[in-house]
Amino acid sequence: MLSVDDSGVLHDLVLAPPVAEWTPPRHAATRKFTEREVTVGSGALAVPGTVTLPRGDGPFPGVVLLTAGPFDRDLTTGPNKPFKDLAWGLASRGIAVLRFDKVNHVHPRVAAEPGFTMVEEYLPHAVAAVRLLQGQAGVDAGRVFVLGHSGGGKAAPRVAAAEDSVAGLVILAGDTVPLPRAIVRVAGYLAELDPGMAGMVESFARQAAAVEDPGLTAEEPGAELLFGWPGSYWLDLRAYDPVATAAALDKPMLILQGGRDYQVTVAEDLARWRAGLAHRADVVIRVHEADDHLFFAGAGPSTPADYESPRHVDPAVVAGIADWLAPRRGRLARLFTR
């Protein structure tokens, strides 16, 4: 659902969860891994997380998962938990995984505080998570990667630039179009699906114009701005180019995109990754044509209603990530699970 106040200001785009329980995907073999709770970060803004470790001696490659928005560690959306799908699926294939609740999920007040930026949203906890996973028994500290989805994918190059020990990046539906413009695009798409939403497009466009205003200051409170984020967040975002940041990294990357994704699109967002990283032999880009923004496979135009029925991340996505992170281990895992 869209969260809009009485004056028509957009505060968030939230998908209301129906009553349903998550069930494990078929590609997860719980006998092959263990899980334990951890704390990521320190002090008042510490957040809870989960380490999922393959059984055995290792050393195992590892990956830290980064969500977009104020989500929990599982990226819970309706009855679905895409990051839990990924964690269990990857651990079943010999990949250690650490996922954690976003700071603005556990401590929502921080997102409205003056001075809040993407740096505060991602870097302290992402870097702490990388180092925590590197210190786990059985994990190969030299092969800990970062995987980001949507806004987490956009932030992933910034995390790797800040923490040189990151071995490489996996970017799932990472957006590259400036966010205010993307919000207007998404609103227009949803209005085509539901004409009753047409009146909201103007409101979104007004808020998008406010955050793109050349006169915007860091001190501007978020009350009248998109998502309630203060001016400091939007100014920092203007100055950040995820593609250029990724291109400057000497690290391998896997970039995956859903062909049916209307939030982050092949035509606009992926095109920028392709153009900016075309010279890199160590960058692999793949499109899963049947998948939507959460990498759920389907047919026809994707809609928010798709997230309201129980689904799992496309097994081909899980297998592809595992094979890229650990090619030899991935091939062996498929042999033993046939």
Q: What was the pLDDT predicted at 265?
A: 97
pTM value?
A: 0.90
Give catalytic status of residue 309 as yes or no: no
Q: Is 261 a catalytic residue?
A: yes
Q: Indicate if 323 belongs to the active site.
A: no
pLDDT at residue 41 in the model: 96
CA distance 269 to 258: 11
Q: Which of 293, 302, 312, 314 is catalytic?
A: 293
Q: What is the rounded distance in angstroms from the CA atom of residue 318 to the CA atom of residue 28?
A: 10
Specify the pLDDT at position 202. Answer: 86
- Of 72, 101, 261, 306, which residue is the catalytic one? 261
Instruction: Read off φ and ψ for residue 295, nearest 5 degrees.
Output: 65, 35
Q: Among 52, 45, 29, 41, which Cα is nearest to 136's? A: 52
What pLDDT score was predicted for residue 127? 98
- DSSP-derived 3-state class of residue 327: helix
Q: Which domains does the chain have, with CATH numbers?
A: 25-336 (3.40.50.1820)
Handedness of CA 265, 269, 272, 273 (dihedral sign): negative
Q: Would you state the pLDDT for residue 71?
A: 96
User: For residues 48 and 39, is the Cβ–Cβ distance under 8 A?
Assistant: yes
- DSSP code at position 188: H
**Residue 190 structure tokens:** 């949803």
pLDDT digit string (tens) for the chain, length 338 residues: 444 444 555 545 554 444 578 999 999 999 999 999 999 999 999 999 999 999 998 899 999 999 998 999 999 999 999 999 999 999 999 999 999 999 999 999 999 888 999 999 999 999 999 999 999 999 999 999 999 999 999 999 999 999 999 999 999 999 999 999 999 999 999 999 888 877 788 888 999 999 999 999 999 999 889 999 999 999 999 999 999 999 999 999 999 999 999 999 999 999 999 999 999 999 999 999 999 999 999 999 999 999 999 999 999 999 999 999 998 654 444 444 44
- Amino acid (one-letter) located at 148: G
